[in-house]
Amino acid sequence: MSARGRFLLWTAGISALLLVVVVVVVVFIGGSTTTLRVSVTGLPSGASATVTVRGPVTYTVTGSDERKVPAGAYVVQIPSARTSLGTAYADADQQSVTVPAGRTTSTTVDYATIIPDTTKVLDYTNPGIIAVDGLKVTFAANSGSRPALVPGHIFIVAEGPQTPDPLARRVVSVTLTAAGLVVQTTPVKLSEGSAGGTLRPVRRLVDQRRTSTVRVSFAS
C-alpha cells in the first residue's frame, strides 16, 4: 500500500474514533435529560395542594409534576392543604432533594394526616390551663392561647409546663365561672382526633406553628 493510501486509512480510522467519542458523549452525558418528578399523595378525592420547588430554578406544583430542571440542590416547601375532611398536613414543612445531572430524580410529598376542624391542638408551652381535676379542665378565662371550644370538639395538649401528661379530651360542656372557663370532658383515643395517621412529635409541630391548628399526627 502506498504512503498516501496508508495516510488516508489512518485519517479515516481517526475520524471514526472521534465519531464514536462524540456519540458516547452525546448519549451518555450531553444527551441525557435531567428531570425532577414531584408526586403529591394522600389527599382525598377532589382536594389539591400547591407546593413550591426552590433551587437553581423556582416553580410551583399543583398535584404531581415532572419537568426538565438544572442539576443541583432543591427544597420542596409544603404548605397545609384544605380538604373536605379538614386540613391536611405532610410530616414536614419542607424536604430537600438533590438532582444529579442526566438523571430523573423523584420525591414524594405525602399528606399523611388530616385534622378535622373540630380538633384543636393547643400550644403545650402555654395552653391556658389552670387546673386538671379528673375529667374537669379549667382554663384561664382570658387565655389568648386557647381556641374556642364547644361541645363535641376534641382538644389535644402535649406534655408541658401546665400538663405533665398529654391530654386528649372531647368537650362535653363549657361553663364560664369565677374560677375560669370550666370544661367538662371525656377521654378520647388520639386516633379519634384525626382522619388518619399516627401520633408523632406533637411538641416539635407546635414549636413550628404556635397556633391552635398546628399539624399533628395520631397513633392508632
CATH of 35-111, one of 3.40.50.1980, 3.90.226.10, 2.60.40.10, 3.50.50.60: 2.60.40.10
**pLDDT attached to residue 59:** 97
CA distance 11 to 5: 10
Given a contact cutoff of 8 angstroms between Cβ atoms, the answer to whether 171 and 155 are in contact is yes
Distance CA 93, CA 152 (A): 29
Which of 202, 186, 194 lies closest to 220, judged by CA?
194
Number of H helices, E strands in the chain: 2, 16
pTM above 0.95, yes or no: no
pLDDT of residue 148: 81
Percent helix, strand, coil in the chain, to 5, is 20, 40, 40
Q: What is the pLDDT along the chain (220 residues), one digit of tens a residue?
A: 566 555 555 565 566 555 544 444 444 444 579 999 999 998 988 899 999 999 999 999 998 899 999 999 999 999 989 988 888 888 888 999 999 999 999 999 998 888 888 888 888 888 889 999 999 999 988 766 567 889 999 888 878 888 888 888 999 999 999 889 999 999 987 655 555 444 443 444 444 444 433 333 333 3
Answer whether 213's CB lies under 8 Å from 87's CB. Answer: yes
Q: Which amino acid is at 28?
A: F
**pLDDT given at position 182:** 94
Confidence at residue 87, expressed as pLDDT on a 0 to 100 scale: 84
